[in-house]
Chain A
Amino acid sequence: MKGHERDTVNKENVSLKSPVALSLGLHLMIVVVALAGWSWTNPVQEPEPRSISARLISPEPKPSPVVDEKDQRDEAEKREQAAEKQRQKDEAERKKAQQEAERKAAEKAAQEKARKLEQERKQQEAKAREKAEQQARAKEAARKKAEAEAKERERQKAEQERKRQEEAKRKAEEEKKRQEERRRAEEAERKRKEEQARKEAERKRKEAERRLREQQLNALAEEAEQARESEARRQREAAAARAREAQMLTDSEKYQALIRDRLAQAWYPPASATENMVARLQITLLPTGELQSVSLVSSSGNTAFDNSALSAVRSLNRYPVPGDRDTFERYFRQFTIEFNPKRLR
């Protein structure tokens, strides 16, 4: 950036240098020319004696200026009288004068011609000077204009910078404002939602309360109804249950025997077992007959014996259990197994 700036300045210096030099050169030239012209024109500009020009005009003088005519007429009378006397002399003189005049006219013409040339030269010089001056002025104007423009650019740049900064500041402020607004909006939204949720919860709570009351009322009504029905049903079912109970017991006994056989085959009473050792295990089965859990509820006092019982219980992959769910739940969901060797080898 800096380099770029310096670069620009250098360029301006260069562009400024050449017009200044040019201008200086031109001025110098003008001064020289003017000085030369001055020494030349000074004698030329000296006015010639007016009388000569008026008197030396031919007999049929061209209309002269008004002042000249009047003068000439007043004196003409006088001169005519004397003229004759003088004519001879004059004639000679005239001839002499004529010659002189002619000479002088020629001289004058030559002078005139020189003057004209000088005039032209002067005009040309003036023109050139004018032109040079114009050029210098133009240059100066251009320089000034360039300077002004540079300044203007500088100013505009500064202005732009200022505007840009102002803009940035403005934008930052706007952004801040916008965020502030958004935050406020969010806060408001949050509050609104909270309020909504609270209202919703309140509504639900009331709804639930209402429903509960309804249910309670319904339940009371149903209860009464059911109490009547259930009493009748209970009596009906009691009879069926008694029959069923008997059936379940029979089933249960069958499966008890199966389980007993399986466990007896799976149990290896340890060498240290005695006939008064008793270990009680509570087992929980799944309806599939799989063992869910087993716990020693009463130890025999002999670790090897307890372990042999636990090992036996865990060794069955599947316990034989009734397919009937009620019988299962009633007897085989959870039961106790007692290991108590009565016939040791």
Chain B
Amino acid sequence: MHKSNNSRHGLAKRHLTAIGWLLVMCFVASSARAELLIRITEGANSAIPVAVVPFAESGAMPAGDKVSSIVQADLTMSGEFKPLDPSKMLSLPSERSEVYFRDWRMLGQRYVLVGQLTNNSGKIEARYELFDVNREQRILGETAAAPAGNVRSLAHHISDRVYEAITGEPGAFSTKLAYVTLSGSGKNSVYRLHVSDIDGQRSKVRLESDEPILSPSWSPDGKKLAYVSFETGKPAIYIHELATGKRTKAADFPGLNSAPAWSPDGQSLLMTLSKDGNAEVYEKNLASGRITKLTNHWAIDTEAAWDHAGKGVFFTSDRSGGPQIYYMERPGAEARRLTFGSRYNARPRPDSKGEYVYYVHQRDRSFHIARRNLKTDEEFIVTRTGTDESPSVSPNGRMLIYATEQGGKGVLTVVSADGGAAYSLPASEGEVREPAWGPITR
């Protein structure tokens, strides 16, 4: 193209002119037709009504855990769905032929999930179908199976599939949570690191210590946790392999060793170290063990996190006098301040798409979780409980978990990323804090 001679260039120019005229004529023609166009730029400001019909069961089912109830709870927790109370259902279909769309439409439902469970010699098999009530179409029809002792995994899987079929986003109901509990007080304090389902069920203690455990962070493959433990009497960063329980020290420098955060590729760990005198953000390459200093400021720089692409870094710095959120387009580049208008903005947690960053935000002496649109710089208060901290975004960016206080006790609450319905995880013993939402693993 660059080497084209003049005549060819002229020809192309004439073609362009012709195409231009054609476009103009098309525009004229279409505007002459002037068919009415109505633009819808806003949607309903509420959760989607969906009916999760109790699944039909054949064969012995494990007591307690009802698959459809778990699915219903999952969808409710997401804040994006408003499942219909089964007692209000006019019928309990378990397959397509039994679904009367008119009835569900009358009940105002948008989607209906039906299914059947079969116990096939200790293995629970689920057949499930999801219908769009208005379009009267099946949008999902699958089977899945799990051992009888693992129906919760089966249920979360179904929730994921339903969520994805409706929203176009992968569901995050099968992911895991890590969090820390504190029981007892003073000399009797016991800190425990837990890993559980995202609804708080099937919690397992991975580490128990008399000393504080802080800032758990998931490796991208979901197999390891990095955290800060004071078990030696001073903070150090550990990497904990969940399958084997094997632990390795990632940082144990003099002074501060805190706020570990995995890179999206799992190759390195961001951390805050004060080994050089002042708290700065460093990157440690896990393969080589080489440590690189990313920030260099006399103020405190901490709580770093990679952006969704693994290129830029968000962190908290009090270089303006109070903690604020900053962003470096690449390590070592000049940091840009993102948050203004509040004395306190800390602990940035970007989503996986590069659209938003979440952080703890103080307003009127209360602490909330705020969300900032990275394109428009619009700030939105997601939570309003009052003493909210430690935000962690679900891997699909649609939910947020954070620690807050309820009745003077620390609990974890899940909220939809747009601030919809909140769902508090069942309280375990003592205080619950420092939640970290695990990745989607396949």
- Which chain A residues have a beta carbon within 8 Å of chain B's beta carbons? 252, 256, 259-260, 263-273, 302-305, 307-312, 314-315, 331-332, 334-345
Is there contact, CB below 8 Å, between A304 and B44? no
Is there contact, CB below 8 Å, between B42 and A271? no
Residues of B within 8 A of A273 (CB): 168
Cβ of B37 under 8 Å from chain A? yes
Q: What are 20 A-B contacts defined by CB distance under 8 Å? A: A264-B43, A266-B44, A267-B40, A268-B48, A269-B43, A271-B168, A272-B169, A302-B168, A303-B168, A304-B167, A305-B168, A309-B40, A314-B135, A315-B110, A332-B36, A338-B38, A338-B39, A341-B42, A342-B42, A343-B42
Residues of A within 8 A of B48 (CB): 268
Is there contact, CB below 8 Å, between B132 and A311? yes
Given contacts A310-B135, A315-B110, contact A264 B166 (CB under 8 A): no
Is there contact, CB below 8 Å, between A345 and B40? no
Is there contact, CB below 8 Å, between B110 and A337? no
CB of B144 to closest CB in A, whole Å: 21
CB of B175 to closest CB in A, whole Å: 15
Is there contact, CB below 8 Å, between B168 and A335? no
Cβ of B211 under 8 Å from chain A? no
Instruction: Point out the residue from B37, B42, B135, B163 that lies within 8 Å of A338, measured CB to CB.
Output: B37
Is there contact, CB below 8 Å, between B41 and A268? no
Is there contact, CB below 8 Å, between A339 and B40? yes
Is there contact, CB below 8 Å, between B166 and A270? yes
Instruction: Point out the residue from B43, B135, B420 that lies within 8 Å of A341, measured CB to CB.
Output: B43
Cβ of B318 under 8 Å from chain A? no
Per the 8 Å Cβ criterion, residues 91-144 of B in contact with A are 105, 110, 132-135, 139
CB of A225 to closest CB in B, whole Å: 32
Given contacts A268-B44, A341-B41, contact A304 B36 (CB under 8 A): no
B contacts with A: majority SS: loop
A271, A312, A332, A345 — which one has the most chain B CB atoms within 10 A of its CB? Answer: A271
Cβ of B350 under 8 Å from chain A? no
Is there contact, CB below 8 Å, between A268 and B110? yes
Given contacts A264-B44, A315-B110, contact A270 B135 (CB under 8 A): no
CB of A322 to closest CB in B, whole Å: 12
Known: A267-B44, A341-B42; 16 extra A-B contacts, CB below 8 A, are: A264-B42, A267-B43, A268-B44, A268-B110, A270-B166, A271-B80, A304-B166, A311-B110, A311-B135, A315-B110, A315-B134, A335-B35, A336-B36, A338-B38, A340-B40, A341-B41
Residues of B within 8 A of A260 (CB): 38-40
Cβ of B398 under 8 Å from chain A? yes
Residues of A within 8 A of B39 (CB): 260, 337-338, 340
Residues of A within 8 A of B418 (CB): 344-345
For the complex, give the distance between the alpha carbons of A336 and B38 in Å: 6
Residues of B within 8 A of A270 (CB): 166-169
For the complex, give the distance between the alpha carbons of A309 and B168 in Å: 13
For the complex, give the distance between the alpha carbons of A264 and B396 in Å: 25
Residues of A within 8 A of B169 (CB): 270-272, 304
For the complex, give the distance between the alpha carbons of A247 and B133 in Å: 38
For the complex, give the distance between the alpha carbons of A279 and B167 in Å: 15
